Amino acid sequence: NDAAGNLERVVLSGPESASVEIYVYGATVTSWKSASGSERLFVSRQAVLDGSKPIRGGIPLVFPQFGPGILPQHGFARNQRWAFLGATEHGAGVAATFELRDTPETRASAWPFRFVLTYTVDLTAHTLSTIVKCENADERAFEFTALMHTYFGVGDIGRVVVEGLEGVAYDDKVSGEVGVREARGEVGVAANEDRVYRDVQGNVVVRERGGASVEVRRFNFKDVVLWNPWEQKAREMGDFADDEYHRMVCVEAGTVASSIALKPGQTISCGQLLTAQDAAI
d(CA 242, CA 224): 25
Residue 79 CB, nearest distance to ligand TA6 (Å)? 10
Residue 135 CB, nearest distance to ligand TA6 (Å)? 26
DSSP helix/strand/coil, 232: helix
Report the residue number, 33 or 74, with the smaller CB distance to ligand TA6: 74
44 to each of 135, 193, 269, how far by Cα in Å? Answer: 32, 18, 29
- List % helix, strand, coil for the chain (3-state, nearest 5): 5, 50, 45
Residue 256 CB, nearest distance to ligand TA6 (Å)? 9
d(CA 97, CA 119): 6
Report the residue number, 143 or 239, with the smaller CB distance to ligand TA6: 239
Residues forming the site for ligand TA6 (CB under 6 A): 54, 67, 73-74, 149, 173, 194, 225, 227, 250, 252
The catalytic residue among 135, 215, 244, 252 is 252
Q: Is 78 annotated as a binding residue?
A: yes
252 catalytic per annotation: yes
Report the residue number, 18 or 41, with the smaller CB distance to ligand TA6: 41
The sign of the torsion formed by the CA atoms of 65, 50, 120, 60 equals positive
Q: Name which of 59, 75, 79 is nearest 67 in CA terms.
A: 75
Residue 64 CB, nearest distance to ligand TA6 (Å)? 15
Report the residue number, 33 or 149, with the smaller CB distance to ligand TA6: 149
Residue type, position 140, single letter: R
DSSP helix/strand/coil, 72: coil
Print burial letters for 247-270: b (CB count within 10 Å at least 16), e (below 16). bbbbbbbbbbbeebebeeeeebeb
Residue 209 CB, nearest distance to ligand TA6 (Å)? 24
d(CA 214, CA 47): 23
Q: Is 247 annotated as a binding residue?
A: no
Closest residue (Cβ) to ligand TA6?
227
Q: Name which of 227, 262, 261, 260 is nearest 245 in CA terms.
A: 227
Q: Is 46 annotated as a binding residue?
A: no
244 to each of 96, 176, 240, 241, 253, how far by Cα in Å? Answer: 30, 25, 7, 5, 22
The catalytic residue among 149, 182, 215, 244 is 149
Report the residue number, 221 or 227, with the smaller CB distance to ligand TA6: 227
Active site residues: 149, 252
Residues annotated in a binding site for substrate: 56, 73, 78
